Amino acid sequence: MSAQPTQLWLPALARFDRTHPLHRLLSQADRLADDPRSRLDCLADAFHADAATLPVAALIREQLAGDAGEASWLNADPAWVQPDMTGVRLLACGSMPLEMDEAQAFAQVLQPAFAELGLQLEISAPDCWQLRLAPDVHLPDFTTPEQALGEDLYQHLPQGAEGRPWRVLLNEVQVLLHQHPLNAARQSRGLPPVNSVWLWGAGRLPASLQSGFAGVIGSDVLLLALASHAGISSQARTPEAVAAAQAGRLVDLQDLPAAEFGDAWWPAIQTLAQRQPLHIAFASDERWSWRPLHRWRFWRRAPR
- pLDDT value for 3: 55
Residue pLDDT, tens place only, 43-65: 999 999 999 999 999 999 999 99
- Distance of alpha carbon 291 from alpha carbon 274, whole angstroms: 8
Q: What is the largest CA-CA distance in the chain?
A: 68
CB atoms within 10 A of CB 182: 18
CB atoms within 10 A of CB 228: 16
Q: Which whole number is the average pLDDT over 110-115?
A: 96
Answer yes or no: is pLDDT of 135 > 90.
Answer: no
- pLDDT value for 1: 40
- Distance of alpha carbon 217 from alpha carbon 227, whole angstroms: 10
Q: Are 112 and 175 in contact (CB under 8 A)?
A: no
- pLDDT value for 40: 96
Residue pLDDT, tens place only, 228-275: 999 999 999 999 999 999 999 999 999 998 888 877 899 999 999 999
- pLDDT value for 186: 96
H helix count then E strand count, the chain? 10, 12
**pTM greater than the 0.75 cutoff:** yes
Q: Are 287 and 281 in contact (CB under 8 A)?
A: yes
Answer yes or no: is pLDDT of 147 > 70.
Answer: yes
Answer yes or no: is pLDDT of 296 > 80.
Answer: no
Q: Which whole number is the average pLDDT over 159-170?
A: 92
Q: Are 279 and 6 in contact (CB under 8 A)?
A: yes
- Distance of alpha carbon 68 from alpha carbon 133, whole angstroms: 11
Answer yes or no: is pLDDT of 106 > 80.
Answer: yes
- Strand residue runs (E) in the chain: 6-10, 30-32, 72-84, 87-93, 119-125, 128-133, 196-204, 215-217, 233-235, 249-252, 278-282, 287-290
Residue pLDDT, tens place only, 13-22: 999 988 899 9
- pLDDT value for 4: 78
Reported confidence tier of residue 300, pLDDT bands at 50, 70, 90: low
> Which one has a higher pLDDT value, 304 or 178?
178
Answer yes or no: is pLDDT of 301 > 80.
Answer: no
Compute the mean pLDDT over every residue in the chain, rounded to the nearest whole number. 93
Reported confidence tier of residue 302, pLDDT bands at 50, 70, 90: low
Q: Which whole number is the average pLDDT over 283-289?
A: 97
Q: Which whole number is the average pLDDT over 133-149?
A: 91
Answer yes or no: is pLDDT of 2 > 60.
Answer: no
Q: Are 293 and 22 in contact (CB under 8 A)?
A: no
Residue pLDDT, tens place only, 179-226: 999 999 999 999 999 999 999 999 999 999 999 999 999 999 999 999
